[in-house]
Structure 1
Amino acid sequence: MNWYLDVLKKYAVFDGRARRKEYWFFVLFNLIASVVLSIIDGVIGTFSAESGIGLLSGVYSLAVLLPAIGVSIRRLHDTNRSGWWLLIGLIPLVGAIVLIVFMVQDSTAGDNQYGANPKQDAV
């Protein structure tokens, strides 16, 4: 849970590096929260079939948009790639696969142009 909260604390930080652990724990807790809020939307009747999203899950999605972009860019920096690579996700299917491959790769050893290796700080 601390990894999720750390990302929220750095909600508009687009520089630096993020470990795989930080990124994937944020994705996991984000997914869990989205599923729970979607279920609550369905139960209390705030889900809109026309838009495909509920009130609570929609507000939550907007609230975590900047932190999600920030941690994704920092994760790309950790693999020594520019944050602009995030835009490849706009290409249907292929872009998402490429981003997943980038996100699961190990950190660049030592320092890179985006900062110190966060793994070295944790050890």
Structure 2
Amino acid sequence: MRMVSAFKNVVMNNYANFDGRLGRAEFWWFYLMDTLIAVAIAVVTAMIFQSAKAVYIAVGAYYVILLLPMLSAEVRRLHDIGLSGWWLLVTLIPYLGGLMILIFLVMPPKPTGERFGSYTDNADA
């Protein structure tokens, strides 16, 4: 399954790897799996503890564990479109920063140049 393999690749093989590129398809499969796991954790925690506070703690702990893989995936995705990972600091600008990063993350890759590693189109893989 593409979603599971993309998630495993980012979390297991590239936990804190900020070098190279990450294709658009693999990034979004990883992000979808990440979101589904967070929702499952929230639902299960709510059913067991019936407390919003417990849900916040459980989902928050999950995202603390996945902080480095998410940052590294976003940096490698920015590398894929030819931008430096430092562009993530744009998210510190309220409202506009998050929108800018979202636009960057959905942009098609730039196959020219070897600045961040060789280009591989993994959309069909």
Q: TM-score range by the shorter chain?
A: 0.7 to 0.9
Q: Alpha carbon RMSD of aligned pairs, Å?
A: 1.9
* Match in the other structure for 1:53: 56
- Counterpart of 1:93, as a letter, is Y
Runs ≥4 in structure 1, deviation > 2 angstroms? none
2:64 to 56, 62, 77: 62
Conserved? CA contact 1:80–1:112, under 8 Å: no
Q: Structure 1 unaligned segments of length 5 or more: list them.
A: none
Q: Which piece of structure 1 moves more, 19-28 or 107-116?
A: 107-116
- Counterpart of 2:25, as a letter, is K
Cα deviation for residue 7 of structure 1 reads: 0.4
Instruction: Tell me the SS of whatever aligns to 1:89.
Output: helix
* Match in the other structure for 1:37: 41
Distance 2:21 2:42 in 1: 31
Conserved? CA contact 1:38–1:47, under 8 Å: no
Distance 1:42 1:10 in 2: 31
User: Equivalent pairs: percent with the same residue?
Assistant: 32
| Aligned pairs for 1:1-123 within 5 A | 1-8=4-11, 9-45=13-49, 47-48=52-53, 53-55=56-58, 57-119=59-121
Cα deviation for residue 101 of structure 1 reads: 0.7
Cα deviation for residue 78 of structure 1 reads: 0.5
The TM-score normalised by the length of structure 2 is 0.86
The TM-score normalised by the length of structure 1 is 0.88
